[in-house]
A and B are shown apart, each in its own frame.
Chain A
Amino acid sequence: MTCPDVERLVEVALGQSADPELEAHVQRCEDCRADLLTIEALAGVGGPDREISEGLVSRIVAGLPKPEPRVRRTWGGGGQLLLTWGLGFLTALVSAGVTGSIGALDPGTVLMLATAFGAASVLFTRLNRRDRAPATGEPSRPRPD
């Protein structure tokens, strides 16, 4: 018999197969014997008594910190968006009026800048808006009927 594939040695070490021919070969072949001894040492480390009991699993889980709530950014409702944009637009117009830009700049440009400022306000509000959603590990609150 030629030297077996390592998987056959692994199966023998894990007790998943018995092969008298292979065992006889291992007795004769020093190289395979050394391989099998190393595999058996590793298999022994992961032996059957290494399963975790259900009691210990429960103890570990009970001692875990609560999962932190996931942060979810939202845009808000349509009315809120319009209001934010309108306020941004007005702020830009008032600023332009105060600084005297309305007379100096082309009205189209002023309108475009105010529109852009409104849009920037919406974006800024969205980035700063964080609604806390419960993480999946947390128990959800019962809904009132």
Chain B
Amino acid sequence: MVDRERFREGNHQYFAEVIRDYGRVVKAVCLSYAESEDDVSDLIQECWTLAYEKRHSFRAEGSFAAWLHRLTRNHCTDAYRSRTSRRQGLEKFAAMGAIQDLHRRTPSPAEELERKESERTLWNALDALPEKERDAIILRLIQRRTPGEVAEEMKIEKASVRSNISRGIKRLRGLIGGADK
């Protein structure tokens, strides 16, 4: 669990501990939005730097994983949008035959694209869940915390962790099913 005061102080050594402890959630989101391996590392670094710069906006009431997830999602979505619009611009230009040699991006395998697309759908669905359900799912299934640790971080009972996960899963099924249609 993150010590809010130490985190907000900005101690680099402590921040490294936080990165090791909560790295999964950031990497999981970045992998769904990055185009290549190098891109993943850059995106992860950008997200953590942003988390460092915005560390004072982390409030004690919410869970750290949820705060980090929100920040990472926002950053990755912005980066993805700007990259997509940049590429669309390039495609238009290339179609005119002007800079075809600049447009050298190797397309990813179809399966990889499909995986990323489904993961993005999943992240969107997760975002639509009520806060407690989303936090419980992120902590238990993505951060791989034990039910006890989730309860401690969310300051709720273990039984509530289970009911939040259960309700969240049912709701996600509906959301993902709806997205497929």
Q: Which residues of A contact B (CB under 8 A)?
A: 5-7, 10, 13-14, 34-35, 38-39, 41-43, 45-47, 50-52, 56-61, 63-65, 67-68, 70, 135-137
The interface size of chain B toward A, counting residues with CB under 8 Å, comes to 43
Question: CB-CB < 8 A to A56: which residues of B?
Answer: 41, 44-45
Question: CB-CB < 8 A to A6: which residues of B?
Answer: 162, 165-166, 169
Query: A136 and B9: CB pair below 8 A?
Result: yes
In chain B, residues 65-103, which have Cβ atoms closer than 8 Å to a Cβ of chain A? none
State the Cβ distance, A71 to closest chain B Cβ, in Å: 13
Question: CB-CB < 8 A to B20: which residues of A?
Answer: 52, 57
Query: B122 and A45: CB pair below 8 A?
Result: yes
In chain B, residues 1-46, which have Cβ atoms closer than 8 Å to a Cβ of chain A? 9-16, 19-20, 23-28, 31-32, 41, 44-45
Query: A10 and B141: CB pair below 8 A?
Result: yes
Query: B45 and A60: CB pair below 8 A?
Result: yes
Total contacts A to B, CB within 8 angstroms?
A: 113
Q: Which of B16, B28, B165, B166 is within 8 Å of A46, CB to CB?
A: B28
A137 to B10 CA separation, bound complex (whole angstroms): 6
Q: Which residues of B contact A (CB under 8 A)?
A: 9-16, 19-20, 23-28, 31-32, 41, 44-45, 48-49, 52-53, 118-119, 122, 137, 140-144, 147, 162, 165-166, 169-170, 172-173, 176
A-B pairs with the 10 shortest C-beta distances?
Answer: A67-B10, A46-B142, A52-B23, A6-B166, A137-B11, A42-B141, A50-B24, A136-B11, A50-B27, A137-B12
Which secondary structure dominates chain A's binding surface? helix
Question: CB-CB < 8 A to B172: which residues of A?
Answer: 38, 42
Q: Which of B14, B19, B52, B122 is within 8 Å of A41, CB to CB?
A: B122
Query: B44 and A65: CB pair below 8 A?
Result: no
| A-B CB contact pairs (8 Å), 8 listed | A6-B166, A39-B141, A39-B169, A46-B24, A46-B25, A58-B16, A65-B53, A67-B9
Query: B48 and A60: CB pair below 8 A?
Result: yes
State the Cβ distance, B54 to closest chain A Cβ, in Å: 12
State the Cβ distance, A133 to closest chain B Cβ, in Å: 12
A10 to B168 CA separation, bound complex (whole angstroms): 13
Query: B162 and A42: CB pair below 8 A?
Result: no
A109 to B88 CA separation, bound complex (whole angstroms): 79
Query: B19 and A52: CB pair below 8 A?
Result: yes
